[in-house]
Amino acid sequence: MTLIAILTGTLAAGIGSVWLAALLSFGILARYTTHMLSLAAGALLATAFMHLLPEAFESQAGAQELFSVLLVGLVFFFLLDKAELYHHGHEHHDPESAEAGPGELLAPVRTANSVQAERVHTSPGALEHGHHHHHHHHAPARSGSWAVLTGDSVHAFGDGILIASAFVADMRLGVITALAVLAHEVPHHMGDLVVLRQTSSNRSAALIKVSLAGAVTALGGLVGYVLVDMLHDWLPYFLVVASSSFVYVALADLIPQLQKRLSARETFAQIGWLAVGITLVTVVSGLAHSH
């Protein structure tokens, strides 16, 4: 009976939070797509610094050990991003489109989902100016999708262990814990969906990927039910690894895309949505912990 309750609670929290996030991101907030990057960056940073890291440092684990794991995690996700870019570049390389014709330069152009090559027609006398412009263009954006999915999976596994521990202790406590996890994951998963939409225009594909990562909560619940005492000591490290992925994606992938010249009104809107993402995660996490 306890195992069935654990699996039900973990699936509801892990996948239910993703679908609620999708309902908001693709439904109610769909009109604000231009501001979703700001909200995603705020949500990811707040999840790491206001929720996961404080929870990890409240444990008996040493600060130096946790910071070491954080550092190793950041380097790991940097290398993972490099591998993703290398694989993506080989998979989608088009020799014909990569070559410029006479009097043409290839200039990188950032779009919502990728970086494409735009042919810039120039006269022979303007080639030097075009070359100068090319060197000062922004670097291509990275996707960070694998980093987000890996961090989500680790985070979900840790959540599953927490839910299993609560159900083993008391059935009512388990239900409350599962609902709390579901609630505080919604704003975070909104950020995840935005990150994955950067690499694909297919909403369904993004939803399925994040849902699969959320389903790892059930795996964490199952393992936690069997090895609850043994794994409980490892929870702080799971939380820090997940934090490193969210910090990396926010600072290396999302924030650079926001760093562009805007009007005063657009800048204030950008900052406002960043604050909305931070506030959502902070408030919901605080309410979840209080209950």
Q: Decide if 134 is inside a domain.
A: no
User: So what's the pLDDT on residue 188?
Assistant: 77
Handedness of CA 258, 263, 268, 272 (dihedral sign): negative
In a domain, 15, yes or no: yes
Whether residue 223 lies inside any domain: the answer is yes
Cα torsion 283, 259, 209, 203: sign? positive
Number of domains in the chain: 1
Tell me how crowded residue 52 is: count the other CB atoms within 10 A of its CB.
26
Q: Is residue 131 part of a domain?
A: no
- Cα–Cα distance between 157 and 238 in angstroms, integer? 8
Q: Is residue 137 part of a domain?
A: no
Residue 120 falls inside a structural domain:
no
Residue 95: predicted pLDDT: 44
Show pLDDT as tens, one digit a residue, over the chain (291 residues): 888 998 999 999 889 888 988 888 777 776 776 677 788 888 888 888 988 888 888 888 889 999 999 999 899 888 877 776 665 555 444 444 444 444 444 444 444 444 444 434 444 444 444 444 444 444 444 456 778 888 888 888 888 887 887 788 778 877 877 887 887 788 778 888 888 877 766 788 888 989 999 999 999 889 888 887 677 778 888 888 888 888 888 888 778 878 888 888 888 988 998 998 899 888 877 766 665
In a domain, 199, yes or no: yes
106 in any annotated domain: no
Domain that holds residue 45: 2-88+142-290
pLDDT at 219: 92
